[in-house]
């Protein structure tokens, strides 16, 4: 597949590198054409990796990953361009964390709305799938760093888009039974609102190699 990564932080780099290792072509986008992180990431990931603007990455990808801070995600995706995103699957990994008043962060949106829903409302032609946001990025791409089988969530309005994302998750090593489809995009609220709990656990387990497991 051709994949566009919107975001040059740790999450974009980790997902991008894993996707390249799996044989996909990946373009990482930034607000600027020559972002230092993006250029460095592309250089160290070989010929299948490239860098450009948000708009370049969105135009390039058949599947897009939103890897920007939740509070700026709508702005980043507007810069990516609705015409470049139209009809595509967009995996939203963002969390609405606001660190501006120090630790612990607060949520910029919660209870009756979420970043996933804001993106879906703003870009109705995009198939938004919320996933991966409830764990550290090393766990996202290598679930076995957490002993045993832990859980990962999917939420989105389009069944075909969720199947596509399920396939990507399985290629990362997530076993079929550990991927939990929570339903439509409003389920993003719950997965974003576990972040205060995740932050608290991070205080206890600073190496971040932990995850939630749903037991029935």
Binding region for ligand NAP (CB under 6 A) = 7-12, 30-32, 35, 67-70, 72, 75-76, 93-95, 97, 133, 136-137
Residues 91/149/105/207 CA torsion (nearest 10 deg): -120
Query: Which CB, 75 or 160, lies closer to ligand NAP?
Result: 75
Query: Which CB, 135 or 161, lies closer to ligand NAP?
Result: 135
Q: How far is the CB of 6 from ligand NAP (least distance, A)?
A: 7
Query: Which CB, 8 or 188, lies closer to ligand NAP?
Result: 8
Q: How far is the CB of 54 from ligand NAP (least distance, A)?
A: 7
The DSSP 8-state label assigned to residue 144 in this structure reads G
Query: Which CB, 14 or 164, lies closer to ligand NAP?
Result: 14
> CA nearest 51: which of 17, 84, 18, 77?
17
Whose CB is nearest to ligand NAP? Answer: 9
Q: Give the span between the Cα atoms of 98 and 17, in whole angstroms.
A: 27
Query: Which CB, 11 or 185, lies closer to ligand NAP?
Result: 11
Per DSSP, the three-state class of 14 is helix
| Bridge partners (DSSP) listed for residue 127 | 89
Q: How far is the CB of 52 from ligand NAP (least distance, A)?
A: 11
CA angle centred on 86, ends 169 and 141, rounded to 5°:
15
Helix ranges (H only) for 61-209 are: 70-80, 82-85, 115-122, 137-141, 159-172, 188-193, 195-204
Q: How far is the CB of 2 from ligand NAP (least distance, A)?
A: 19
Q: How far is the CB of 175 from ligand NAP (least distance, A)?
A: 20
CA angle centred on 171, ends 168 and 176, rounded to 5°:
85
């Amino acid at each position: 597949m051709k994949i566009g990564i919107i975001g040059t932080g740790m999450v974009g780099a980790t997902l991008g590198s894993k996707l390249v290792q799996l044989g996909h072509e990946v373009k990482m986008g930034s607000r600027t054409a020559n972002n230092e992180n993006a250029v460095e990431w592309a250089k160290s990931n070989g010929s299948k990796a490239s860098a450009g603007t948000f708009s370049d990455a969105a135009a390039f990808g058949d599947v897009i990953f939103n890897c920007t801070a939740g509070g700026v995600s709508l702005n980043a995706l507007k810069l990516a361009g609705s015409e470049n995103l139209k009809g595509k699957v967009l995996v939203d990994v963002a969390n609405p964390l606001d660190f501006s008043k120090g630790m612990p962060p607060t949520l910029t949106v919660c209870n009756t709305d979420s970043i996933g829903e804001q993106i879906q409302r703003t870009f109705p032609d995009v198939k938004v799938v919320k996933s991966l946001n409830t764990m550290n990025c090393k766990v996202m791409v290598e679930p076995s760093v957490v002993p045993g089988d832990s859980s990962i969530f999917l939420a989105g309005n389009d069944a075909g888009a969720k199947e596509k994302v399920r396939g990507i998750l399985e290629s990362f090593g997530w076993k079929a039974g550990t991927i939990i489809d929570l339903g439509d995009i409003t389920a993003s609220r719950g997965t974003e609102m576990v972040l205060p709990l995740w932050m608290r656990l991070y205080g206890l387990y600073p190496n971040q190699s932990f995850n939630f497991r749903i037991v029935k």
